[in-house]
Amino acid sequence: MEQKYFDYKEIIAELIYSGVECQLDKDEIYKLLEYPPDENLGDLAFPCFKLSKVFKKAPIAIAKDMEGKIPSSSYIKRVVATGPYLNFWFAPEQLVENVLQQVLSSGERFGAQNIGDGRNIVIDFSAPNIAKPFHVGHLSSTVIGNSLYKIFEFLGFNCVGINHLGDWGTQFGKLITAYKKWGSRETVEKGLIQELMRLYVKFHEEAEKDPGLEDEAREWFNKIENGNQEALELWKWFKEISLEEFQRVYEVLEINFDSLAGESFYNDKIEAVVQELKAKNLLQESEGALIVNLDQYEMPPCLILKKDGSSLYATRDIAAALYRKKTYNFAQCLYVTGIAQSLHFQQWFKVIELMGYEWSKELVHIPFGWVNLEGEKLSTRKGKVVLLEDLLRETVKRTLEIIKEKNPGLEEKEEIAKEVGVGAVVFGALSVNRIKDVTFSWSEALNFDGETGPYIQYTHARACSILRKAGFKPDSSFDPHQLCNKEAIRLVKTIYLFPEKVVTAMKEYEPSIISRYLIVLAQEFNAFYHECQVLVNDEALQKARLVLVYAVKTILATGLRLLGIKAPERM
């Protein structure tokens, strides 16, 4: 059964709808309501610009006329017209009672809803390339995808997480060529992914001097595609080495997948795609290759088969989409990849549409920006990479040093250092809008006072400490009148916003909405804690303030969980 949250927008939309003949239905009024940028302008505001055509008046005059027509309500303290806006202030006691009772009754499920009603959402994320290191550049796809999985699941969807491993393509021909020329079984067994990386970089360095190496690489990949035993054995060996490394990183991040079907899984499904495209008269020949012409959509052609008959990313992506729709009957299929691949997705999404599949609109590319380490871009071909495993290990090590310095008596220091260090890296990637580039800086990421993961975790631990000292056990009996001071009301208003923020994060595929919200909640809590002593002699006052602390602790933990971050109870 869907959890129904106390919604002031619904209450105010009903008041406007019943009090003012404005030719807008309740849904339209609801969508127009907005939160004022300044709390002195009210808690919610209705802009009157859209009504100027209806009433043939200026929005300022309309707002003034509406001011006296809004029915009274125990939920609303006052209604005031300010310029072209009609501003509403919440009645504080009702606000505190309704919001905190909801948190007490829902616990860690506060904010959860059944919007999905069990529909399937396929999320294609992480997808590192086999035989290349799992580096910092893979961080965003991995943690954005994992967070979206948790957010959609929290809102009642059945999620299918797919790691579409890059285990096919010409790069394997390049690697085999390099291995045959400059490598050996002994050096690969000793160096593992680092040696494969060295060979890959060596190939590109040598290919600049000898372009004929590219032809050799294509020949080796053709051998893989055609089932050549030596080529396949090398390919499988490189894949096993890579998967072992990837799994170590996923274990540290505590990320699991429902499917590891990579590109190679779709090899036997490509011929059917080619035949279907032919049958639907979508394929054209161009310089020996087969393409789908997209000129009329102002896009370059979508290449389906190279002139040597080998498949491409687009071919395999189309085959994968058809397979996933048939297998999972998804409501949406999300692809969490870099912004540089936007055109690629536009092209093959259009091909799916031209094939006559209405569900093409259910395919969604979720792009993100570059990841830099202290401002330096990363390139696999040039060997300029920082392994994600090394970054996580170093961050945990530095966190442990900070903990030993600040709280040497803390028990389970190593485990907490891991939770905080890994959380710092994940939060750093999820704290800005995903389209923006991320620059990872240790000094910023591990700042316990800044807008960081450790700051939120520390705030959560502080709330836990207060509740422990008081021996607090949550129940529904508290006096809301004890929480009507400015700091408490501001904090309750922020708590109230959590369910709405989670839904917005889902709709916009944007985990940073939750991370930015958590920073604000932590800041508001620390301001409250600074001004209002919680453990006091007045029993009723202490009980009410402990309920507020419990609500903050609960939402910080839930929000961090939705980001894929732990919430330590001691730090």
113-143 residue pLDDT tens:
999 999 999 999 999 988 777 888 899 999 9
Range(s) of the chain covered by CATH 1.10.730.10: 388-433+441-563
First-to-last alpha carbon distance for the chain, in angstroms, is: 37
Question: What Å distances lie between residue 509 and 19, 69, 336, 349, 433, CA to CA?
Answer: 36, 39, 10, 18, 10
Amino acid 550: pLDDT: 98
Amino acid 3: pLDDT: 58
pLDDT tens figures, 327-352: 999 999 999 999 999 999 999 999 99
Cα separation, 534 vs 544, in Å, equals: 9
Amino acid 444: pLDDT: 81
Range(s) of the chain covered by CATH 3.30.1360.70: 8-90
Residues of the chain with pLDDT under 50: 1-2, 377-381
Which ranges of 118-228 would DSSP assign to H, the alpha helix? 139-154, 170-182, 185-191, 193-209, 212-225
Please tell me the number of Cα atoms within 13 Å of 117 on its side-chain side: 2
Amino acid 385: pLDDT: 67
Domain 388-433+441-563 fold is Isoleucyl-tRNA Synthetase; Domain 1 (1.10.730)
Amino acid 48: pLDDT: 96
Which DSSP helix (H) or strand (E) runs through 121?
Answer: strand 120-124
Architecture of domain 8-90: 2-Layer Sandwich (3.30)
- What type of residue sits at position 23? Q
* Residues 562 and 151: beta-carbon distance below 8 Å: yes
Amino acid 1: pLDDT: 39
CA-based nearest residue to 32, from 59, 71, 1: 59
